[in-house]
């Protein structure tokens, strides 16, 4: 598909880092593009017809617009072929489906994140949080790898009944799978290895668990799938991949991005430390201010359409830029200012509409416990390097966060 600009359409050959690399001017670039027009033609994936949607109102409408599809089958044939050849396991869950398939598949996980189940998890999440703080080397730590990443990974492994000692390979497979498909043959070979490996691992896990069902989420999903034969084993595997990957990476970025925001806004840190009840609202502001998911997942035009005066062809990729919409000054007063007392924080960091993230209650719960416990038990925790030395990653999927978060502290209070 040609990527030549349409007459009268603002087009920029945006650099690769706009989507998946460091860019210290990202929010300024977003503001500039947003002020010109809500929709811009871009070159991502390379060689495809593709567009970014930048403003809050248009992004909000596109989350539920039936002209946009999340089904892999509606994407260009060459992209479908790449994905189906390298990682066929990925395309059998609710994230890559439209209604009614999406509705059916979503029912598989909807029962997992009820308020009752989240309340039951709170004591164990608190215990895990304290254990990780106890394990931090006195005086210094990489808060991302030693805490922010490990906490949700341990929680989701326990929630699913997956052995925590397998966490490293699950994380490695997940990172590769989250970028599917890739633009090079070498990366797609690695992707195929990851896809085959995790599929084999999870099929063995499902077979073993069927012989000894318990109270874990995998057992719950098996019972739901086997109840009336509504879900295939492949759909179970694909759903588990989604839960493992989304269940730890997004929360890891939420915690690390939120702590970085507090380090660079000491007045906000002090406010939260003095009033832990602000944590739920602070989490919403962290999600808005530095979202762990910077754009929406796969969406393609199911038909020729027009958006903000821009013609978008059938099968074109449409990227809903969450990080831009979350800082739209038409919706948020002083959007570049962090304010944990801000009210009416209607961000898109967990999506919107039918595809709103069902795991958001767990992520919010982990974040609330993590922030309050860190600030209480490590009262003088501080960033160990200048903020400008931190490396921000926009991964091959839609994730956004620091690659490491070095901190120092001299006090570690008891639980």
The domain total for the chain is 1
Residue 309 has pLDDT above 70, yes or no: yes
Q: For residue 11, is it within any domain?
A: no
Residue 10 has pLDDT above 80, yes or no: no
The region of weakest confidence among 162-171, 254-263, 315-324, 341-350 is: 162-171
Q: Is 191 in contact with 181 (CB distance < 8 Å)?
A: yes
The region of weakest confidence among 73-77, 138-142, 175-179, 403-407 is: 175-179
Q: For residue 244, is it within any domain?
A: yes
| CATH assignment at residue 356 | 1.10.630.10
Q: Measured between alpha carbons, how far is 402 from 405 in angstroms, rounded to an integer?
A: 7
Residue 120 has pLDDT above 50, yes or no: yes
The secondary element (H helix, E strand) that includes residue 185 is helix 185-211
Going from the C-alpha of 129 to that of each of 109, 123, 188, 289, 383, the distances in angstroms are 25, 10, 36, 24, 20
Q: For residue 2, is it within any domain?
A: no
Q: For residue 357, is it within any domain?
A: yes
3-state secondary structure of 404: coil
Query: Tell me: the pLDDT tens digits for 314-353?
Result: 999 999 999 999 999 999 999 999 999 999 999 999 999 9
Q: Measured between alpha carbons, how far is 297 from 131 in angstroms, rounded to an integer?
A: 34
Task: Print the domain residue range for 45.
Answer: 17-408
pLDDT-derived band at 77 (thresholds 50, 70, 90) equals: very high
Residue 224: name the closest of 333, 141, 305, 108 by CA.
108
Q: Is 384 in contact with 139 (CB distance < 8 Å)?
A: no
pLDDT-derived band at 2 (thresholds 50, 70, 90) equals: very low
Q: What is the DSSP letter of 53?
A: E
Q: For residue 198, is it within any domain?
A: yes
Residue 339 φ then ψ, to 5°: -145, 100
- Beta strand spans in 201-316 (E): 300-301, 305-307, 310-312
Q: For residue 208, is it within any domain?
A: yes
3-state secondary structure of 11: strand
Q: For residue 12, is it within any domain?
A: no
Q: For residue 307, is it within any domain?
A: yes
Q: Measured between alpha carbons, how far is 64 from 82 in angstroms, rounded to an integer?
A: 27
Q: Is 356 in contact with 109 (CB distance < 8 Å)?
A: no
The secondary element (H helix, E strand) that includes residue 52 is strand 50-53
CA atoms within 13 A on the CB side of 237: 21
């Amino acid at each position: 598909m040609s990527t030549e600009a349409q007459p009268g359409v603002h087009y920029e050959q945006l650099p690769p880092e706009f989507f998946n690399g460091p860019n210290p001017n990202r929010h300024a670039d977003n503001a500039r593009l947003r002020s010109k027009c809500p929709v811009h033609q871009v070159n991502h994936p390379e060689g495809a017809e593709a567009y970014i949607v930048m403003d809050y109102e248009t992004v909000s409408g596109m989350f539920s617009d039936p002209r946009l599809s999340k089904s892999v089958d509606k994407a260009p044939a060459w992209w479908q072929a790449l994905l189906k050849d390298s990682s066929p396991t990925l395309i059998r869950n609710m994230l890559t489906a439209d209604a009614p398939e999406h509705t059916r598949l979503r029912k598989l996980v909807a029962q997992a994140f009820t308020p009752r189940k989240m309340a039951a998890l709170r004591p164990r999440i608190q215990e895990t949080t304290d254990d990780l703080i106890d394990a931090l080397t006195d005086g210094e730590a990489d808060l991302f790898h030693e805490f922010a990443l490990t906490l949700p990974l341990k929680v989701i492994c326990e929630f699913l009944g997956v052995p925590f000692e397998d966490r490293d390979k699950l994380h490695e497979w997940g990172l590769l799978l989250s970028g599917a498909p890739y633009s090079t043959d070498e990366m797609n070979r690695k992707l195929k290895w990851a896809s085959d490996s995790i599929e084999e691992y999870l099929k063995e896990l499902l077979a073993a668990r069927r012989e000894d069902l318990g109270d874990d989420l995998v057992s719950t999903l098996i019972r739901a799938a086997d109840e009336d034969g509504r879900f295939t084993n492949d759909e179970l595997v694909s759903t588990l991949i989604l839960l493992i990957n989304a269940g730890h990476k997004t929360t890891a970025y939420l915690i690390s991005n939120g702590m970085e925001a507090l380090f660079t806004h000491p007045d906000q840190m002090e406010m939260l430390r003095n009033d832990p009840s602000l944590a739920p609202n602070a989490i919403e502001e962290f999600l808005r201010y530095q979202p762990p998911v910077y754009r929406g997942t796969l969406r393609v035009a199911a038909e020729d359409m027009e958006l903000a005066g821009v013609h978008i062809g059938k099968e074109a990729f449409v990227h809903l830029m969450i990080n831009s919409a979350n800082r739209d000054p038409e919706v948020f007063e002083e959007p570049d200012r962090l304010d944990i007392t801000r009210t009416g924080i209607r961000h898109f960091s967990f999506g919107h509409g039918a595809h709103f993230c069902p795991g958001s209650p767990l992520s919010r719960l982990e974040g609330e416990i993590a922030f309050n416990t860190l600030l209480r038990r490590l009262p003088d925790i501080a960033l160990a390097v200048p903020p400008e030395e931190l490396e921000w990653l926009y991964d091959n999927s839609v994730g956004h966060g620091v690659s490491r978060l070095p901190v120092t502290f001299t006090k570690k209070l008891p639980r």
